[in-house]
Structure formats: structure tokens, C-alpha cells
Amino acid sequence: MIITIDVGNTNITVGVFKGDDIVSSFRITTKMPRTSDEYGMILTNLLEKNNICLEEIVDAIIASVVPNVMHSLEGAIIKYLKIRPIIIEPGTKTGIRVVTENPRQIGADRIVDAAAAYELYGGPVLVLDFGTATTYDLVDKDGAFVAGVTAPGIRISARALWEDAAKLPEIEIRKPQSILAKETISSMQAGLVYGQIGQTEYIVGHMIREADMGPIRVVATGGLGRIIAGETDVIDIYDPNLTLKGMNLIYKKQNRKSGKIRQS
């Protein structure tokens, strides 16, 4: 088994793979500073609670957009799992060529999503990730990452509402019964959800027209993507585990049998 770790701005998402099958997954909050020992205890406890035998994990791969987490997290994997993990970074074999003006500015998570969508669903493909930011990434028929759009995520927009407007409360993000809201909470929910739907439809439509590549499959992922995917026809596939699947696919391209550290 291998462990895949996606370090996002809000959550660290962990998946355990046996071949192509996800046998377990869980999340840890990113924003709380932790030592390597704290990460080690959290990871091993969660793995054991999910009935994963630590000795059966032979390797690990990490994609991160939060550099200040990496020293402690990598140290935890080395110390507690006795594995030296693969870090996805420029130069890692992914199956995706980045042909933007500055390839090093493209986050590892976006490359992973692009690799997964291209390999699993074919190209050209437009990959949407509804995370802390909402991203729209275009991969052509030959597996080249050619363009990307970045917008504030739903949670960022929601936080801006209740933090910057004194009388607006913190709310649950969900679709209200009607866009014709009659009180504050449902009016905020309507603005957030329907606003995201409108943004999605406009950006997807505009990118597909300007790209002029013919039919383009649209694949979405991310925690809040389920809400949006069910409300618009522009999204063809919603895959909640796209990033973890992408990391597993990239791991296979490294042709490494094990990352276990030999004990002296």
C-alpha cells in the first residue's frame, strides 16, 4: 500500500491506495502549526483507526501548496512510517507538460488534478477544483497544460461576507430552497451558491470558446464541487477523489518499488 498526501491551504487530505483502489481516506486541518511528532501521532492514529496496518505501507507521495508545513510533515513520515516520501515538484514525471509562461508558478495540486483528469477521462479536458480557490485548468489532447484561471473559492467569499460586514452572520454553505431569498441567511446562501454556479458557467463557456479545441470534457473535484456539479450542465463528471487518484497515478510513473528507509 502507498499513502498519498495532498497539502492544501485549508486541509491535508490523506489517501491510502492498494493498487488502484482507495482503501481509506481522511482529512487533517492545515492551518494549525504542528511539530513532526504531532503530525506523526495524528497520521499513525488515524491510519490505525481506519484499520490500516502501518507495516503494509511501503511508500508515500506528497503534493503541497503550503511550503511551511513540509519540514514537519516530511519529518513525521520519515520518523513514524520509516519512509522517505516522493515530493511532487518541478521535474517530477507527471505525464503532463506545462506550456504556460512560467511553469514553476503552477501549483502541484493543479498538475496532479490535470494528470488525473487527462489519464482517466482523456483530453482535451477542463479541470475544475472547488477548493480554497476555485481553479479552472485546460489540458489539450496531447496532455499539455495550456491555460488556467484562478478565482476566490466559495469559502473565501463567504468569509469575506461575515468578516467584513458587521451584521452578516457566519453561515452554512448550501443551496437555499429558492434564489428568491426572504431573510439574511438564505440571501447569503443564494448569493454564494448561485454566484458560484454563474461564475462556473461563464468561465467554462468562455474558456471552451476561446480555446477552440472542439468538444472539451469538463471534470470537477473539490469538497464544495458536489453542490455546484449538481446544479449546472457544463460539468460532465464530478470526481471527489480526483487529486488522490492523480497522486497514485504519478507515483506509478516514478517506477519506485518502495520508499522504506533501510535500518542500519
**pLDDT tens digits, one per residue of 11-20:** 999 999 999 9
Say if residues 97 and 41 touch (Cβ distance below 8 Å).
Answer: no
Residue in 126, 98, 121 with CA at minimum distance from that of residue 111: 98
Q: Cell numbers at residue 230, please?
A: 449538481
Annotate 178-235 with DSSP letters as a single string.
-SS--SHHHHHHHHHHHHHHHHHHHHHHHHHHHHT-SS-EEEEESTTHHHHHTT-SS-
**pLDDT tier at 262, thresholds 50, 70, 90:** confident
Structural domains present in the chain: 2-87 (3.30.420.40), 97-247 (3.30.420.40)
Mean pLDDT of 7-27: 94
pLDDT reported for residue 102: 86
Strands 144-152 and 97-98: parallel
The CA distance from 174 to 162, in Å, is 15
Instruction: Name which of 76-85, 190-199, 223-232 the model is least confident about.
Output: 223-232
pLDDT reported for residue 187: 94
Q: Cell numbers at residue 180, please?
A: 428568491
pLDDT reported for residue 195: 95
Using the predicted structure, report yes or no on whether residue 94 has a pLDDT greater than 80. yes
Mean pLDDT of 78-100: 93
pLDDT over 90, % of the chain: 81
Provide the mean pLDDT of the chain.
93
pLDDT reported for residue 264: 57
pLDDT reported for residue 166: 79
Say if residues 63 and 92 touch (Cβ distance below 8 Å).
Answer: no
CA atoms within 13 A on the CB side of 208: 19
**For residue 83, what are the β-bridge partners?**
260
Residues 6+ apart with CB under 8 A from 70: 7, 62, 64, 87
pLDDT reported for residue 15: 96
pLDDT reported for residue 143: 96
Active site residues: 109
Mean pLDDT of 209-218: 96
Mean pLDDT of 20-42: 93
Instruction: Name which of 16-25, 164-173, 208-217 the model is least confident about.
Output: 164-173
pLDDT reported for residue 105: 87
Say if residues 249 and 22 touch (Cβ distance below 8 Å).
Answer: no
Mean pLDDT of 235-259: 94
Using the predicted structure, report yes or no on whether residue 245 has a pLDDT greater than 90. yes
pLDDT reported for residue 104: 85
**pLDDT tier at 163, thresholds 50, 70, 90:** confident
The CA distance from 84 to 82, in Å, is 7
Mean pLDDT of 128-137: 94
**pLDDT tier at 224, thresholds 50, 70, 90:** confident
